[in-house]
Amino acid sequence: MMASPGTSLNSVETLFSTTVESTVGPLFLAASPRGLVALEFDRRLPGQQTIRPNPRDLRGEKKDAQFEQSEQALRPYVSELQQYFAGQRRQFGFPLDLRGTDFQLACWQALLAIPYGETRSYGDIARAVGRPRGFRAVGMANNRNPAAIVVPCHRVIASDGTLCGYGGGLEIKRNLLDLEQAQMRAQTQDPA
């Protein structure tokens, strides 16, 4: 699975969207014809970035995207997510249409390289993108990750091995890591 180069929206773009239930709560998905643009937790922490327009924002600003509700268009994405939560999928096969700076895209590609059930530190990711002292910048790129779970920023932990910083909250981060690690343990106990 590869991310597309950063895309700048110059006109209003239609993105297909849906909200689905999962074991970690409702998830909002949006996709362009090129791939998944966003996977967000329905409940967000204060100040957390979102692709969705704020319904309370009544200013007449130009919006870059409009959303068309379409369960059918998002069906392949939802299907793979359901398989992931059921412990039947370790990698996602659908395309991504990630939009960010070159540095953010490099960080997100490094996240995609973290194997299922494993973790890396912010320092590990900083070294992987050629910025060994840039662990704080990596943290900010993770914070801007538009496709939670699929771009697995939940697999990034503090250098001392503790959980820290996750847009869905630390409980969801722990649940995702527990899910993956339980599947890894099950595989080693039953290699059939």
89-112 pLDDT, tens digit per residue, is 999 999 999 999 999 999 999 999
Domain membership flag for residue 55: yes
Evaluate if residue 52 carries a pLDDT over 80. no
Query: How many angstroms separate the CA atoms of 2 and 122, rounded?
Result: 21
Together in a domain, 115 and 183: yes
For residue 174, what is the enclosing H or E element? helix 170-189
DSSP character at residue 55:
T
Note the pLDDT of residue 59. 39
Total count of domains within the chain: 2
Tell me the residue range of the domain where 50 lies: 13-85
Q: 164 an active-site residue?
A: no
Average pLDDT over residues 155-171: 91
Domain membership flag for residue 7: no
> Would you say 5 and 96 are in contact if contact means Cβ atoms under 8 Å apart?
no
Domain membership flag for residue 1: no
With a CB cutoff of 8 Å and minimum separation 6, the contacts of 121 are 135, 156, 157, 158, 159
Q: Which pTM was predicted?
A: 0.84
Note the pLDDT of residue 112. 97
Q: Where are the beta strands (DSSP E) in the chain?
A: 13-20, 27-32, 35-41, 65-69, 120-121, 156-157
Angle formed by the axes of helices 135-143 and 102-112, nearest 10°: 90
Which pair of structure tokens corresponds to residue 2?
Answer: 């590869």
State the catalytic residue, choosing from 153, 156, 172, 179.
153
- The pLDDT tens digits for 166-181 are 888 899 999 999 999 9
Evaluate if residue 57 carries a pLDDT over 50. no
Question: Can you give the CATH number for the domain in which 122 is found?
Answer: 1.10.10.10
- The pLDDT tens digits for 5-51 are 444 445 789 999 999 999 999 999 999 999 999 999 976 555 556 66
Residue 160 or 1, more confident = 160
Together in a domain, 110 and 166: yes
Q: Which residues of 123-148 are buried (b: 16+ CB within 10 A; e: fewer)?
A: bbbbbbbeeeebbebbbebbbbbbbb
